[in-house]
Amino acid sequence: MNGATALINTLANCGVEFCIANPGTSEMHLVQALDAVPRVKSVLALFEGVCTGAADGIGRMTGKPAATLLHLGPGMANGIANLHNARRANSPMINIIGNHPNFHVGHDAPLTSNIDTLAHNFSCWIKSECTADSLAQDGADAYTATLRQSTGSTGQIATLIMGADAAWGDSLGPVEPNAVPQRAKVNESAIDKVASIIEKRGSNTVILLEHHGTEQAAMAAASKISNKYGCKMFNGTFPARVDGGPGRIAIDRLPYFPEQVLGTLNGVENLVLVGGSTPVSFFAYQNSPAELIPEGCEVTRLSYIEEDAIDAMERLADRLGASKQSITTFEKKDISKPNGELNTKTIIQSLAATLPENVIVCTDSGGGNAAYPFCQSTSQNNWLSLTGGAIGQGGPCSVGAALACPDQRVLAMLGDGGAAYTIQALWTQARENLDITTVIFANNSYNILDVEYGRLGVTNVGDIAASLFDIGNPAIDWVSLAKGFGVPGGKADTGEELCALLEKSYGTPGPFIIQANGEIKR
Amino acid sequence: MNGATALINTLANCGVEFCIANPGTSEMHLVQALDAVPRVKSVLALFEGVCTGAADGIGRMTGKPAATLLHLGPGMANGIANLHNARRANSPMINIIGNHPNFHVGHDAPLTSNIDTLAHNFSCWIKSECTADSLAQDGADAYTATLRQSTGSTGQIATLIMGADAAWGDSLGPVEPNAVPQRAKVNESAIDKVASIIEKRGSNTVILLEHHGTEQAAMAAASKISNKYGCKMFNGTFPARVDGGPGRIAIDRLPYFPEQVLGTLNGVENLVLVGGSTPVSFFAYQNSPAELIPEGCEVTRLSYIEEDAIDAMERLADRLGASKQSITTFEKKDISKPNGELNTKTIIQSLAATLPENVIVCTDSGGGNAAYPFCQSTSQNNWLSLTGGAIGQGGPCSVGAALACPDQRVLAMLGDGGAAYTIQALWTQARENLDITTVIFANNSYNILDVEYGRLGVTNVGDIAASLFDIGNPAIDWVSLAKGFGVPGGKADTGEELCALLEKSYGTPGPFIIQANGEIKR
């Protein structure tokens, strides 16, 4: 058995179910191995940013790594933007990067480049000197690395740079999986400290739940404490995944702009960090602080990213005598379908009014993010946000979520700017007949830039600057693009049309795209 | 004047004519500067791989750097595949990468990542600690770096990582351009050595002309020597740019597969390197050599990449008494338009038969590369190849070529696999109304992988492996994709249809796409 086949068998033994691939010549033996090991489902994408975004979606929905198969430095480079998002989501993922054999790298053939230097941008684990003998164990170690949480890690992404000679050489066969790492428990002193603060400060405390702290059980404990002591609870602005909707723990998110975050936290005396970090401004502005903590507010940590936030929150609730307290959940409300012209508000209303049960929402747009609070009162959902700010993530992520969860409808709420980055995701949706509804907020604009430009104090935007925010010249025909990639779709100019198309899509297996025309009026 | 405006004015003073941009919030002051300095034409692209590929095209056609404007680490990452190709083409280019201010980077906001580590993959010059005061001089230095040739350099790409505080802070204004670096002349000893080899070995010598050696004047000298001594002359397999067609120096290229290169060089006793390197196998194979030199063949260098190959070749011709010798140029021949079913051969015949005068050809496909020899007998052309093997380069490169040379028709010969990587290039073609004809070799396959898989000795390709080479499920509708991005087009199933569409496109201003349906029969 060659190294490649030993590797893929080992990954299958560990629990890897998918390999999202865009192979090249240097990976032909790995393709042969995927052919021989159908336990790992091979999924082809036309662009590597789709591979890495899809693997991120699988990681968020299953808690287990998917593999990607990418072609040398340039192939990996095409995947980096969504690897950046996956790193910020703390998603487990194993990249297998094909490379020339070691004996060939020194000859500097055209596709040779320094792959390691790229991998350091997003990987917590990199191995590049593998051999046919080491490859199976390297795969098992990569799997473990993606699940081993650690503070200061650059994420949960393992990158195995596999020379073709390691793939084609004779191996000793697959290896047994390593033990699965467990999260560390927080020290009693952290519980003590936070408990005494909440007892003392009560309603002037905010509990900020991020990463492992966004699990329902951790948020349930926070809800009990909140109901007893009156403290507020928030998720971060862009959590990797939060399960919401009626019956799930009610929680708000911190807003986006720095002055809004400071407004939300105004008067707070203590901020308790569960799993995450002190809130910081997404971008820097002149005369605006980086850390978004009101003056005089103390920051106290309950748990680090690698620690067990559920255990910590439940112990904290116990300590505070809140374990028997009731929890507060989102309540079901009827949202009426809007009529007439579409704009961001009526698009969101249409989405909320028609949201199917048990939906997975993927969004990398401002509009999608704004839809979050409106959708929590309609249907249960798993909400996957853009964690790293690199747009072009929602479409690929929806592919992964749909592969991982074939019994759920996936709803991708995409901005037109972001959707154009990784439009190739539609082709894999068609190929795998995935139950994905894509809604494009078609405002023909990098609208956020227009907003940010205004924040500079520029009221009179020049022609050249305006042209750099304007993606409406020419206007993109999203239904035509989708047709090109094999996905049917329709356009909506009114609330009635949008709701009808959404409901049609939810009732029909397979992918569908809806262009929601809500142009910004200037 | 703030740092950003000083920078853009300085770049304009140096000679930068274009900034191909995909900006974000951290680059708002740079957008303001571009608005204020229309001498630098700002061109928007929907994806950063289009920005970098277009800048490469401008560099190849003008010999001067274009600027790109990219948004932090993920934005730059999206451009790396075509930066890799540009590095291999030795193209000058200046990347301006927006970043958080230094005071913000330490707070690890969502879009923060290590940009330097990515830039090391492709840059010959990186500066990341710029200030408002330094930014103008940094721009002048970046310009110079892109034109300063040096052996062992990682290319001619300068990357300026510009914190937002450098952009918005007060500056001292623009600076004067630095002196433009000149190519070094080769030592007399190199001329002596090569001259004596050619005198001794004559027809058993091959002159391999790469990089600066592909200039017409250098090749003219080689042609004179060849005509006197009978030695053969070649370009490398994938030159960045060679000007060809009737009246231009006749020259062949080295073929792609290693056994073909060794066959071509069979019996050669001396290989003379002009500007380039010893030929190596593009990929490594088991039991196949990396260096493609016949046994007993001596390799002698006339000039390194940074040296003046024109001067060296002209001095060599003088030394050999060949300066008055005649040159051999490509001759015009009539190529008939093909009839009936399309396949790679008849698509190429159609392209050659209809090739317009003074065309720029951009190609990143096997089919396009195969078209090269057939097109040299029809019309004068500038032929831009895929230098680094990262597909998705031809479309973006055509954008840059058309921006730089508005009086020439540009013909992009793209494989379907590669075109899908950077299909967003079509939108910028429509927006700028560029005279670009795109031909898609639509064989619905990563055909090269099928070929390479067969070279493993696998005659019976399994279903999963076959599926990973098959991009015909679903088949991509290229005309629909182009319509989505605002570019008109048509489909051709026969030679007659293809020639008619090509001629229609050449006669009509603006972009046009042709899907040439030549499916591989298995």
Q: Which of B31, B282, B483 sits opposite A453 (nearest CB)?
A: B31
Residue range B215-224: mean pLDDT, rounded: 98
Which band of pLDDT confidence, cut at 50, 70 and 90, is reported for residue B153? low
Interval B295-345: pLDDT, tens: 999 999 999 999 999 999 999 999 999 999 999 999 999 999 999 999 999
The confidence score (pLDDT) of residue A202 equals: 87
The confidence score (pLDDT) of residue B152 equals: 60
- Tell whether A441 lies on the interface with B, counting CB pairs under 8 A: no
Could you give the CA distance from residue A251 to residue A253 in angstroms, rounded to a whole number?
7
Shortest CA gap A470–chain B (Å)? 9
**Residues of chain B with C-beta less than 8 angstroms from the C-beta of A464:** 34-35, 38, 42
Start-to-end CA span in chain A (Å)? 64
Enter the tokens of residue A175: 């290896």
Shortest CA gap A45–chain B (Å)? 9
The confidence score (pLDDT) of residue A148 equals: 85
The confidence score (pLDDT) of residue A151 equals: 63
**Residues of chain A with C-beta less than 8 angstroms from the C-beta of B291:** 107
Q: Which of A84, A470, A483 sits opposite B113 (nearest CB)?
A: A84
Contact A283 B107 (CB under 8 A): no
The confidence score (pLDDT) of residue A300 equals: 97
Contact A80 B74 (CB under 8 A): yes
The confidence score (pLDDT) of residue A440 equals: 98
**Residues of chain A with C-beta less than 8 angstroms from the C-beta of B85:** 74
Predicted complex ipTM: 0.97
- Tell whether A293 lies on the interface with B, counting CB pairs under 8 A: no
Contact B164 A284 (CB under 8 A): yes
Interval B344-403: pLDDT, tens: 999 999 999 999 999 999 999 999 999 999 999 999 999 999 999 999 999 999 999 999
**Residues of chain A with C-beta less than 8 angstroms from the C-beta of B46:** 417, 420-421, 471
Could you give the CA distance from residue A285 to residue B469 in angstroms, rounded to a whole number?
48
A188-319 in CATH: which number? 3.40.50.1220
Could you give the CA distance from residue A400 to residue A409 in angstroms, rounded to a whole number?
12
Could you give the CA distance from residue B219 to residue B242 in angstroms, rounded to a whole number?
10
Task: Out of B151-155, B185-189, B256-260, pick the least confident.
Answer: B151-155
**Residues of chain A with C-beta less than 8 angstroms from the C-beta of B47:** 392, 420-421
Q: With the CA atoms of B56, B58, B59 and B60 taken in that order, what torsion angle do they form, in degrees rounded to the nearest 10?
A: 90
- Tell whether B433 lies on the interface with A, counting CB pairs under 8 A: no
- Tell whether B24 lies on the interface with A, counting CB pairs under 8 A: yes
Q: Which of B77, B387, B474 sits opposite A430 (nearest CB)?
A: B474
Would you say residue B187 has pLDDT above 90? yes
- Tell whether A257 lies on the interface with B, counting CB pairs under 8 A: no
Which residues neighbour B451 within 8 Å (Cβ) at sequence distance 6 or greater?
Answer: none
* DSSP letter, residue B64: S
Cβ–Cβ contacts within 10 Å for residue A383, how many?
26
* DSSP letter, residue B374: H
**Residues of chain B with C-beta less than 8 angstroms from the C-beta of A122:** 113
The confidence score (pLDDT) of residue A152 equals: 60
The domain made up of A3-168 has a fold known as Rossmann fold (3.40.50)
Look over chain B and give the mean of its residue pLDDT values, rounded to a whole number: 95
Interval B475-495: pLDDT, tens: 999 999 999 999 999 999 999
Residue range B408-413: mean pLDDT, rounded: 98
pTM: 0.98
How many Cα atoms are found within 13 Å in the side-chain-facing hemisphere of B259?
5
Interval A249-303: pLDDT, tens: 999 999 999 999 999 999 999 999 999 999 999 999 988 899 999 999 999 999 9
Which of B:124-153 have CB within 8 Å of A? none
Q: With the CA atoms of B288, B294, B295 and B300 taken in that order, what torsion angle do they form, in degrees rounded to the nearest 10?
A: -120
Would you say residue A153 has pLDDT above 70? no
The confidence score (pLDDT) of residue B154 equals: 59
- The residue with greater pLDDT, B290 or A456, is B290
Interval B64-79: pLDDT, tens: 999 999 999 999 999 9
Contact A464 B42 (CB under 8 A): yes
The confidence score (pLDDT) of residue A401 equals: 98
Share of chain B above pLDDT 90, in %: 92
Interval B238-249: pLDDT, tens: 999 999 999 999
- Tell whether B287 lies on the interface with A, counting CB pairs under 8 A: no
Q: Which CATH number fits domain A344-517: 3.10.105.10, 3.40.50.970, 3.40.50.620, 3.40.50.720?
A: 3.40.50.970
**Residues of chain B with C-beta less than 8 angstroms from the C-beta of A239:** none
Shortest CA gap A4–chain B (Å)? 14
- Do the bridges between strand A381-384 and strand A242-244 make them parallel or antiparallel, or are there none, so unpaired? antiparallel
Test the B interface: residue of A99, A116, A293, A480 with most B CBs within 10 Å: A480
**Residues of chain B with C-beta less than 8 angstroms from the C-beta of A109:** 280-284, 290
Could you give the CA distance from residue A267 to residue A252 in angstroms, rounded to a whole number?
17
The nearest alpha carbon in chain A to B166 belongs to A286
The confidence score (pLDDT) of residue A457 equals: 75
Contact A423 B423 (CB under 8 A): yes
- Tell whether B427 lies on the interface with A, counting CB pairs under 8 A: yes
Shortest CA gap A323–chain B (Å)? 34
* Parts of chain A belonging to CATH 3.40.50.970: 3-168, 344-517
- Tell whether A460 lies on the interface with B, counting CB pairs under 8 A: no
Residue range B405-414: mean pLDDT, rounded: 98
What DSSP assignment string belongs to A418-479?
Answer: HHHHTTTHHHHHHHTT--EEEEEEE-SB-HHHHHHHHHTT--S--HHHHHHHB--TTPP-HH
The confidence score (pLDDT) of residue A450 equals: 84
- The residue with greater pLDDT, B5 or B445, is B5
Q: Which of A24, A283, A465 sits opposite B31 (nearest CB)?
A: A465
Which of B:176-205 have CB within 8 Å of A? none
- Tell whether A491 lies on the interface with B, counting CB pairs under 8 A: no
- Tell whether A468 lies on the interface with B, counting CB pairs under 8 A: yes
- Residue A84, classed as helix, strand or coil, is helix
The confidence score (pLDDT) of residue A446 equals: 87
Shortest CA gap B23–chain A (Å)? 8
> Given CA atoms B224, B230, B235, B236 in this order, what sign does their dihedral have?
negative
The confidence score (pLDDT) of residue B455 equals: 84
Which band of pLDDT confidence, cut at 50, 70 and 90, is reported for residue A520? low
Q: Which of A29, A118, A485 sits opposite B476 (nearest CB)?
A: A485
**Residues of chain A with C-beta less than 8 angstroms from the C-beta of B431:** 473-474
Among candidate residues B513, B460, B469, B467, the one with its CA nearest the CA of residue B491: B513
Interval B77-126: pLDDT, tens: 999 999 999 999 999 999 999 999 988 999 999 999 999 999 999 999 99
* Parts of chain A belonging to CATH 3.40.50.1220: 188-319
